[in-house]
Amino acid sequence: MAKQQKPYRVIISGGGTGGHIYPAVAIANQLKAVNPDSEILFVGAKGRMEMTKVPEAGYKIVGLWISGIQRRLTLDNLSFPLKVLSSIKASHKIIKDFKPDAVVGVGGYASGPLLYAATSQKIPALIQEQNSYAGITNKLLAKRVSKVCVAYPNMEAFFPAEKLVLTGNPVRSDILDSNSKRNEALAHFGLAADKKTILVIGGSLGARTINQSIAAGLDQIVQAGYQLIWQTGKAFYPQAQELEQKYSTQGTKAFDFIKRMDLAYAAADVVISRAGALSISELCLVGKPAILVPSPNVAEDHQTKNAMALVQQHAALLVRDQEAGEQLVKAALELVQDEQEQKRLSQNILKMGKPNAAADIVNELIKLIK
């Protein structure tokens, strides 16, 4: 009889946005699927989104006192060196108490101190970089870790080539079979089966330009006879609610946050989205025709680089943030009416999906432990 594999003890660190948190949770879930008795501890940044989202996913999380460095001179910047030292000290204690077999960094503030402390203690470490342009924390850690799992080819510009493994980005498992749930999805959102639906997602924190463009063009969308599922983020939600009430009989549904993204994708004929790495990975797996509006407020304009990787393969359309006010609703209406173009985008984006990303990353992790 094959002897039972001993449970693994793994710390997963990072966060800040859904783009870091959901891949981290997908890695944890896959590790549990492979070895159900494994112990997993998350380490995040106090006051950030991961401190609520990770416990909701059923995992324990510890918070570090850490934040990013601001681009302008602020009091926060003056305390930054103190936060780093305090977080490294706290990370050493977490590692001593938890005794992990390996650690995983997914990017975001907390992964820096934790992986620095772990690698100083010779604990095997792996980082997962979601974007086509590497984040600063991951670039700094690359020399210290054993493996770097990436979602895009040609990442040698940022990381040592011999450490790279092209895995893709892990996504929530419920998204993988979302296309079989169309009827359930329409019922869930209270939408009509005989009307086309546009899904608008601005990332987990919302996207002001997209929201303003949709608000300004909502009349046109409704007049054309289309339905809308609209994730606005918290800030814009009150305005969107007013519009939803005005157009509720025409199938306009606004949410500050959508928990059932699998059903949102299942209901959608066309998707308008920011070009964060996670959103793109999900779109590749659900194969939806998409219009990407890269956020201009991210480091090194990496969302435009993410989007261009698809646009060059005719796998998505691009509307630049500064042109969204004039172009976005027009582009969306043209795409909803053009079934040939939808089909072409859908076929091309599906070719870019990596459905086994979580399994491939966990395999690399287990190799490091062994």
Which residue numbers belong to the known binding site for UDP-N-acetyl-alpha-D-glucosamine?
17-19, 131, 172, 204, 258, 303
**Cα(67)–Cα(335) distance, integer angstroms:** 40
Binding region: 17-19, 131, 172, 204, 258, 303
Taking CA atoms, 185 is separated from 85, 192, 349, in Å, by 48, 10, 22
Strand-pair category, 197-201 with 125-129: unpaired
Would you give the DSSP letter of residue 61? E
User: Please, which residues have CB within 8 angstroms of residue 232's CB and are 6 or more apart in sequence?
Assistant: 202, 206, 211, 239, 240, 254, 255, 256
Question: DSSP characters for 349-369?
Answer: HHTT--TTHHHHHHHHHHHHH
8 A C-beta contact, residue 111 and residue 141 = yes
Show the DSSP H helices in the chain as ranges. Answer: 18-34, 50-56, 75-98, 111-120, 136-141, 173-176, 182-189, 208-223, 237-247, 261-267, 277-286, 302-311, 324-337, 339-350, 357-369
The encoded tokens of residue 116 equal 């620095």
**Cα(347)–Cα(344) distance, integer angstroms:** 5
Count CB neighbours of 117 within 10 A.
Answer: 24
The encoded tokens of residue 129 equal 């970089």
**Cα(271)–Cα(316) distance, integer angstroms:** 10
8 A C-beta contact, residue 258 and residue 264 = yes
Helix H or strand E segment including 42: strand 39-45
Residue type present at position 351: K
